[in-house]
């Protein structure tokens, strides 16, 4: 199986509660490799682009306010079957339904305050990686 790359966004709850190192250690402990990492503040345009699938929903302003509370950390992770492996490590989107031992089950609160966003497919990952990383910002080693 070939190396694949996915996108993770450490959400404001992970940043403000100083959970980034702990979560990153879980990803690395599972054998996943960092290809790129950066901190950024979501502007309105980038937020609407990234969340285009829900931007017209009535709850979007709540998502927008939450995601702009603090900077976020974008992480490109590589490994075999990386999308599925990351999603397994994270647990379901709704932290209340996530099993203990998963990242969201241990550290998340609910469906929005759930530590990380993760790409849901390789196709989505490719688009999301281009959104957050420019040419030359992803590394192989």
Closest to 96 (Cα-Cα) out of 121, 76, 113: 113
**Largest pairwise CA distance in the chain:** 44
Q: Are 90 and 103 in contact (CB under 8 A)?
A: yes
Query: Rounded distance, CA 68 to CA 47, Å?
Result: 9
Given CA atoms 119, 124, 126, 130 in this order, what sign does their dihedral have?
Answer: negative
Residue positions counted in the chain:
141
At residue 17, the 3 state secondary structure works out as coil
Strand partners, 33: 78
Q: Which residues are catalytic?
A: 117
Given CA atoms 26, 28, 34, 37 in this order, what sign does their dihedral have?
Answer: positive
């Amino acid at each position: 199986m070939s190396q694949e790359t996915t996108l993770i966004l450490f959400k404001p709850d992970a940043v403000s509660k100083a959970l980034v190192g702990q979560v990153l250690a879980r990803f690395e402990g599972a054998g996943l490799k960092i290809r790129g990492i950066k901190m950024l503040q979501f502007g309105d345009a980038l937020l609407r682009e990234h969340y285009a699938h829900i931007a017209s929903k009535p709850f979007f302003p709540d998502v927008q306010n939450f995601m702009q509370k603090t900077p976020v950390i974008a992480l490109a992770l590589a490994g075999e079957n990386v999308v599925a492996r990351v999603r397994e490590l994270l647990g379901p989107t709704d932290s209340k339904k996530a099993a203990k031992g998963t990242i969201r089950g241990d550290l998340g609160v609910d469906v929005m305050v759930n530590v990380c966003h993760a790409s849901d497919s390789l196709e989505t990952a490719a688009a999301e990686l281009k959104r957050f990383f420019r040419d030359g910002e992803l590394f192989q080693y």
